[in-house]
Structure 1
Amino acid sequence: MALTNFRLPSLAAATEDHDISDGERVRFAGGVYDRGGVSDEELMEDLGEGDDELLGDAMTEDLAEEMGDDGDGENSESEDEMGGDPFNPADLGLKEINNLAHFGVSSHRPGNGVAELLSDDLDKYWQSDGQQPHLLTIHFLRRVEIRAIRFYVDYNQDESYTPTHVVFCAGTGHHDLIQFAEVPLTSPVGWQDVPIADSGGGADGHSLCCWIVQMHIKENHQNGKDTHIRGIKIYALDDHSLGGTAREPTRGLGAPFDDGHARVPTTQGLDGESLQELLDAFERHPISLSNFDSVREPVIR
C-alpha cells in the first residue's frame, strides 16, 4: 500500500499499556506512534500483524473529515428545496390582494390579533378568545376575482389550538353569505389551500367573485377551545404578468366602441364641400360655454 498524503509518525518508546491521547498518538499492534515525524518506509517496517486494518480505518476517517462539510451542505440544501413550499404566485400569474381588504376577527387575545395574523413572521399568530365557531371576516374595498386562498397552521407547535374543521363562505354582504368550501384537517403543518376551482366565477369558472369572504373555525384538535392561525394569503390574477390581456380583449383601431357617450365627429375623410357645410353649421349654431355649466366634478355622496 502506497502512503502518499497520509503520514503516521515515528516509533515511540512507549508500550501499548502507556496512557496516551488519541489526538497526539496512534496505537498499532506493534506499539504506540507519535504523530508527525517518520517516513513511510520506516513506518511500514514497524507495522505488525493486524495493523493494516487499523491503518485503513484511520485513512477512511481522514477522508471523511475532508469531504464531510461539503457533503453535509449539499444534502441539507437539497432537503430544504424538497421540503419548501412549491406554491409560487408569480409563476401562476397571481398577485396577493390582502392590501385591498379589511380583516376582522370575532375575538382575540391581547397581542395575538389581526396584525399578528397578517405578519410574514410565521412565529406570530391570531389566537381567538371566545366561543366557537371562531370567525375571520375579510371585507374587500371592491368586487374581487379570487383565484387562491391559503392559510398557515402548525400542529407541531399548537396542538389543541390547531383547527380540524374549517368552513369558508362568500357573498356580496353579510346577508347573502354562501358556503363554497369545507376544509378538514388532520395534524396539519404548513400552508393549506382552500378549494375554489369550481366556484363558477371568472371567464373560466374557476374564480371566486365576491365582496366578503368569511372563515368559520368550527372544531380544533383534542377538542381545543381557542384556535391559532399563523397566516392567511389571498390571490387574484395579475394583469401585468399576463401581458394585460386577462380582463378585456384588445380593441382594434376600426372596432366599434359604444360606451354610452356621444360620438365626436371628425374631419377625417371629408371633402371640401362637406367640410364647408360643417363650418357653416357651427356659425349658425355657435357653442356657448353656458351649455357646459352642468358638467361638474364628480362628488362622492
Structure 2
Amino acid sequence: MKRLLDCDTSDLKRMNKQERLQAIEASEGRILVQELSLFYNSRLLPPVSDAEVACAFGADLILLNAFDCTKPHVEGIDAKPEDVVHTLKRYTGRLMGLNLEPIGDSDMVSTQVETPIGRQATIENAMKAKELGFDFIVLTGNPGSGVDNGAIEQAIQRLSNAVGDDLMIIAGKMHAAGSKEEAGNRILSDDWIQRFIQAGADVLLCPAPGTVPGLSLETVSRWVEVAHAHGALTLTAIGTSQESAEPSTIEKIALQCKMTGTDMHHIGDAGLGGINPENLMMYSKAIRGKRHTYLRMARSINR
C-alpha cells in the first residue's frame, strides 16, 4: 500500500475507501486538507478555481464548504451541474469532499443562522454527494449553525448506513458553531469521541491546539489518542480564521498538531480572499519539509 503522501492521481482513482484510509494512516501525520469557501462565489485568481490554486501550493485533499447539493456549482468550473465535481477532480487530481451540517437544538450563544436544505446532513444529500463524485463527507457546522454533538452522532449513523461503504465519513467540530454548552474545551469529550466512532465515523475532526479558547496541546493529544485507540483516524482543524494569521503562527499550530499525533491537518476557508496560498505552503513545509511539499506541488495530475 502506497502512502497517500506518495500517491499519483492514478493511484487515488484505483483505491477504494479502506485503501485510502490506510494510505492516509501510512503517511504518518503529513496530509493536508484545504477547505474552500463557496459562500461568496469569489475566486482568488480568476479564471482558475481556488481548488486549483490550493493544489498548486501543496494541498492533498480539497474540502468544499457551503456546497449546495441541490444546486451544484463551483466558481471557475464551467460544467453542467452534474459534472461540476467530476470536472474539478479532473482539473486537480485530488480527493474531493464537502461539508454537510447536522442541525441540532442546543442553546445558542449567538443568533442561529438558517442552513439551506442542500447543505444539511440528510441521506438525500449524502446520496447526491456520492453521485456527484465526492470522496468524503465532513459532518460539522459553520458559525451560528447550531450543530451539536448529538445531531452529529445521529447524522453519522444515517449517512454511514447510506454511503459509508464508499465515502469516508469525517465528523466533529472546528469551533462551537454557536452552541453554548459545546464551546472551548467542551467541544468534545472522550465519551463523544467513542460514540462518533461507534456510530460509524472513520475520522474524528477536532480543533487544532490554540485555535479555540482553552484548548491545549494536552487536551487535543488525549482526544487523538482516544480516537486512535478505537480504530479511527483524526483531523485537526484551523476553523477560526487563523488561516490568515502570520506565518509564524501557522508554523506553531502546525507543529503542535503534529505533536498531538494527528493523521491529517486542515486549513480553513476564512483567510483574506478565502485562501492563503503562502500559509498553506508554510504549513506543508512545517509538517513534512520542502522535499514532500515541492513533490506534491510539482507532481503532474496526469501521472
Q: TM-score, normalised by structure 1?
A: 0.20
Greater RCO, 1 or 2 (C-alpha within 8 Å, sep 6+): 2
Larger Rg: 1
Kindly indicate which of the two structures has a greater share of residues assigned to helix.
2
Q: TM-score, normalised by structure 2?
A: 0.20
